[in-house]
Amino acid sequence: MERWREMEGKSLHDPLHHSHHEATAGEASLQDTVWVDGPVIVGAGPSGLAVAACLKEKGIPSTLLERSACLAPLWQLKTYERLRLHLPKRFCQLPLSPFPASFPNYPSKGQFVDYLHAYARRFHLRPNFNHTVVSAAFDRGLDLWRVEASVPGRGRTIHYLSRWLVVATGENAEPFIPDIDGAAAFRGAIVHTSSYWSGAEFEGKRVLVVGCGNSGMEVCLDLCNHNARPSLVVRDTVHVLPREMLGRSTFGLSMWLLKWLPVRAVDRILLLISRLMLGDTQRFGLLRPDLGPLQLKSLSGKTPVLDVGALDKIKSGQVQVVPAIKRLTVEGAEFVDARCEDFDAIILATGYKSNVPTWLKGEKGLYAVGFTRQGLMGTSADATRIAQDIQQRWRQYNA
C-alpha cells in the first residue's frame, strides 16, 4: 500500500510521471499501472458523463474509460435514424445543464448526441476511448479497486488503481439476441435494431419485426413509411398509450397525478383516456396486461409503448400483428397458431442486456448508475447522489 501512496504523491506533482518513468526490470509491470486520484468511471454514455460532470463540479477528478471510439456509442452507432426521445426533454436532461431552449420538446437522436457533445465540452470531460474493461476487482490487500483495460491500438493492457469504481455501462450494453429455432435455416437477413438504420433498404420487402416495445413499434412505422410490408410479433401483453394526453405528455401527466392519487387510480385514468383516444387495442391483437402501466413498470420494469403513429398503421392493416414464432423456416416463419408466412428479412427489436456480470467482482467503493430502469431521469438522480457520496469520502481522504 505504501508503494501506491508513493506513486500517488509523485503523480500529483508530476502528471507525466507514468508515461516518462524509466522502469527497471523489476518495476516493468508498473509502466502499465495508473493511479487514479478519484473514481474510475466505466462507460462514456449519458450515465458516465453525468457522474463525471457532477464530480468535476465538486472539484473531484475522474477517469472515464470507454470501449468504443466515441462517446455515447449506443446513441451514435446503434440507433435508427428516425429515433427521438420518448419523453419530453425536461425529463431527459443531465445534471447541471438543461437542453437548449431551441430544441423541440422531443429531441431527435442527432440533437441528443449534439447535446452530449456540448455537455462533455462544457465540463471538459475527455474519455479514454478504445479502452475495453476486461476485469474489475477489489484488491483487499491494497484496499483499492484494480481495473484492467485492454487497449488494442497500443497492444497492451493498462491497470488502473482507484479507491472508487463507478459502473456506468447501463442496462443496454449488449444487444439481446433470442435463440429462435431454425434461425440458421432462414435464407434472408436477420438483424438486430442495433444494426438497423432506416427502412429504405427494405422497400417493397416483407419484414418480420420481433418485439412489440417502443423500438419494435417505431421500426414498423419506419418500414411502412418506406413502403415495406412489416408484420409485428406480439407474444405477450402490452400497454399502448398516446404519447400525449390532454395537451400534456403522458409521462408528465402521470407524474402530476401521482402527487395526488395512488398508482392504481392513476393507472385507471390513463387507461380510460387511452381507450377514448386510441380505441380498444385488443381488437387489433394488442392485449393489455392485468396490471396498469405504472404498476407494471414499477414491479417488472416493463415500459408501456408511447404511440407515435404505429397503431394507426396496425389499424389500417399496413402492419400485420402475428403471434409468437414457433420456428423459422428457409422461406419465413411458422407461428404458434400453425400458420406459416414467407419473409424477406427479420428485424430483432428485442432490446439489450447488461455486460457487467462478465467482468465485475467486489462491492467496496462500488457505485452503479443507469441501472434503475428509470431512463435518463433515473440517470440524473443516480449521478447526483453518487457524486455527493464520493465527495464526502473524498473529503475524508484529503482532510
Beta-strand (E) ranges in 37-117? 40-42, 63-65
- pLDDT grade, residue 356 (50/70/90)? low
Q: How far is CA 357 from CA 39, 87, 171, 282, 360, in A?
A: 20, 29, 11, 38, 6
Residues 6+ apart with CB under 8 A from 214: 86, 303, 305, 306
Q: What percent of the chain has pLDDT over 90?
A: 69
* Angle CA 370–371–374, to nearest 5: 75
CB 386 within 8 A of CB 366: no
Which residue segments constitute the domains of the chain, with CATH numbers given? 36-173+354-397 (3.50.50.60), 176-351 (3.50.50.60)
What mean pLDDT is predicted for residues 377-391? Answer: 88
Give the Cα separation of 21 and 11 in Å (integer). 11
Question: Pairing between strand 332-335 and 40-42?
Answer: unpaired
DSSP letter (8 states) at residue 71: S
Strand partners for 244: 249
Q: How far is CA 297 from CA 135, 190, 291, 373, 379, in A?
A: 32, 29, 9, 9, 17
In the predicted model, is pLDDT for residue 172 greater than 90?
A: no
pLDDT value at position 364?
A: 82
Residues 6+ apart with CB under 8 A from 153: 130
- For residue 207 the three cell numbers come to 419484414
pLDDT 10s digits, 208-221: 999 999 999 999 99
What mean pLDDT is predicted for residues 170-192? Answer: 88
Element (H, E) at 165: strand 165-167
What mean pLDDT is predicted for residues 152-166? Answer: 88
Q: Which of 158, 156, 98 is nearest to 122 (CA)?
A: 98
What mean pLDDT is predicted for residues 323-339? Answer: 95
In the predicted model, is pLDDT for residue 46 greater than 60?
A: yes
Q: What percent of the chain has pLDDT over 70?
A: 88
Could you identify the residue written with the cell 389500417?
Answer: 316
Question: Pairing between strand 325-328 and 248-249?
Answer: unpaired
- The SS3 assignment for 108 reads strand
Classify residue 228 by burial, with Cβ atoms within 10 Å: 0-12, 13-18, 19+: buried
Q: Which of 66, 44, 54 is nearest to 150 (CA)?
A: 66
pLDDT value at position 363?
A: 60
Residue type for position 31? Q
- The SS3 assignment for 168 reads coil
Element (H, E) at 51: helix 46-57
Element (H, E) at 159: strand 156-162
How far apart are the two ends of the chain, measured CA to CA in Å? 19
pLDDT value at position 6?
A: 45
Classify residue 70 by burial, with Cβ atoms within 10 Å: 0-12, 13-18, 19+: middle
Give the Cα separation of 334 and 326 in Å (integer). 6
- Mean pLDDT of the chain, nearest integer: 87
Strand partners for 296: none
Q: How far is CA 363 from CA 104, 137, 163, 384, in A?
A: 41, 9, 12, 20
Q: Which of 354, 326, 351 is nearest to 340 (CA)?
A: 326
Q: How far is CA 150 from CA 153, 155, 201, in A?
A: 9, 8, 36
In the predicted model, is pLDDT for residue 361 greater than 70?
A: no
